[in-house]
Chain A
Amino acid sequence: MVKMSRLLKKRTAYIIIGISIACLILGPIMGLLFDKMPIHDKTGQIIQEDSSFRITNAFAQPVTLSKDQKLIVEISEFYENTTVTIKIIAKSLYDREYSLNSTLTGSIPGLWFVYSEFGWGASPTGSTDDATALTLPNDGNYFYIEFMGHRYQDSLISWPGDYYIIVYGTNSGPASVLDVYFDISIKVDGPGETLNNLLVIVGALILVAYAALALISILKANYLR
């Protein structure tokens, strides 16, 4: 009869193999769940018309980017009579303009970002462009913006730091209608990929180590005494 070590007992085997399979399954799931961390997601976000000349009334979302972390903003505007402009600026600049209660929202210089216009059969390089500000619906109704601090042509360069996404707009309807609507979703890169790699590697290592140890213990228990 083949002698068995404690390592090969049914319960121990189930626990070890169970942990490794759990890691292998959880890796991709966690990777997918934490791939992007939503910061702000709202359909029908409202700002006032005076936001275009008063920064204190503009939509402003602070974001902190670490090294190689990317900001993704999806903005769309399909509402009647409204026009909105999106910019990404440094926190220091926003703070200064805010404290001064600046009336020059429109003339604040935005930082460079990259945006994509998706289309079937279109080359990704051909459907990607860069800008410092986008006005909807004049430039388009929907934009997928990627930002990391700086860019070289259509590729992003990581400049970690604190930033503000600001959106201001106007309503060309009746004078009494002051509301400006738009849809916005803001996300940043999460730890999904790191978690995925870590869990998959740990799971695979446990499985390989267990198989090797089990083989050695069988040989040791039966022959190599």
Chain B
Amino acid sequence: MGTEERKVSLYDMLPVMNKERATKFLIYGLLIAIIFGTILMISKSIADNAGIWLSLENQQNLMNYMQGLYGYNDYIVKAEKAILISYWMEYQVIILGNIARIGVNVGMFFIAIAFLSFALNDKFDEKTRRIYLVLAGAILFVIMVTTFFTQIAVILT
């Protein structure tokens, strides 16, 4: 009877990972969360500033017309296209924002798994493991809140 090699799945590796693998999870999770978070912020900034971009484009279009670089009908076409682009600038945040939200959640999931692995690693002392467990729980809580609600907000009155 030969030995059967069992394929190790991701589930099997979790959460009992060694320290090095957990650290990798933490770093990659952070990296993914930072990248997607940055994409989200850039996308939001583009959407917020669509109006001022449109004003700038309209003024440039008008000045180009006055200089005779193109005629009236080109002026109208460019003005209409500028409006379309400004709408896209506002709308892209919906597409990119949702993709980025998935990305950030995946990144945070990796971080939570990493902290959970630290917490289950008996090479750390009891106190540190407890801190890691609290951190993993807090991150999971953030993931759940941001998944089921739009955001976490602190409102000062």
> What residues of chain A have their CB less than 8 Å away from a CB belonging to chain B?
70, 72, 114-116, 118-122, 124-125, 127-128, 144-146, 148, 154-156, 215, 218-219, 222-225
> Which has the most chain A C-beta neighbours within 10 Å: B10, B32, B72, B74?
B72
CA distance A146 to B62 in the complex (A): 17
Contact assessment for B8 and A146 in the assembled complex, using a CB-CB cutoff below 8 Å = no
B28 at the interface (CB under 8 A from A): yes
CB distance from A172 to the nearest CB of B (A): 29
CA distance A145 to B67 in the complex (A): 15
Provide 5 A-B residue pairs closer than 8 Å at the C-beta atoms, listed in order of the A residue: A70-B73, A116-B65, A122-B66, A155-B76, A222-B24
Contact assessment for B65 and A124 in the assembled complex, using a CB-CB cutoff below 8 Å = yes
B91 at the interface (CB under 8 A from A): no
CA distance A225 to B8 in the complex (A): 7
> Which has the most chain B C-beta neighbours within 10 Å: A119, A215, A223?
A223
Count contacts on B: residues with CB < 8 A to the other chain: 19
Interfacial chain A residues near B32, Cβ < 8 Å: 215
Count of chain A to chain B residue pairs whose CB atoms are closer than 8 Å in the complex: 53
Interfacial chain A residues near B10, Cβ < 8 Å: 223-224
Interfacial chain A residues near B71, Cβ < 8 Å: 72, 114-116, 128, 144-146
Chain B, residues 65-92, CB within 8 Å of chain A (1/0): the string is 1111001111110000000000000000
CB distance from B112 to the nearest CB of A (A): 15
Contact assessment for B66 and A120 in the assembled complex, using a CB-CB cutoff below 8 Å = yes
8 Å CB contact of B75 from A70, A72, A124: A124
Chain B, residues 1-43, CB within 8 Å of chain A (1/0): the string is 0000000101001000000010011001000100000000000
Contact assessment for B66 and A118 in the assembled complex, using a CB-CB cutoff below 8 Å = yes
Contact assessment for B72 and A124 in the assembled complex, using a CB-CB cutoff below 8 Å = yes
CA distance A146 to B21 in the complex (A): 67
Contact assessment for A155 and B73 in the assembled complex, using a CB-CB cutoff below 8 Å = yes
Given contacts A121-B66, A127-B72, A215-B32, 11 further A-B contacts (CB under 8 A): A70-B74, A114-B71, A116-B65, A116-B71, A116-B72, A122-B66, A125-B72, A144-B71, A146-B71, A148-B73, A223-B28
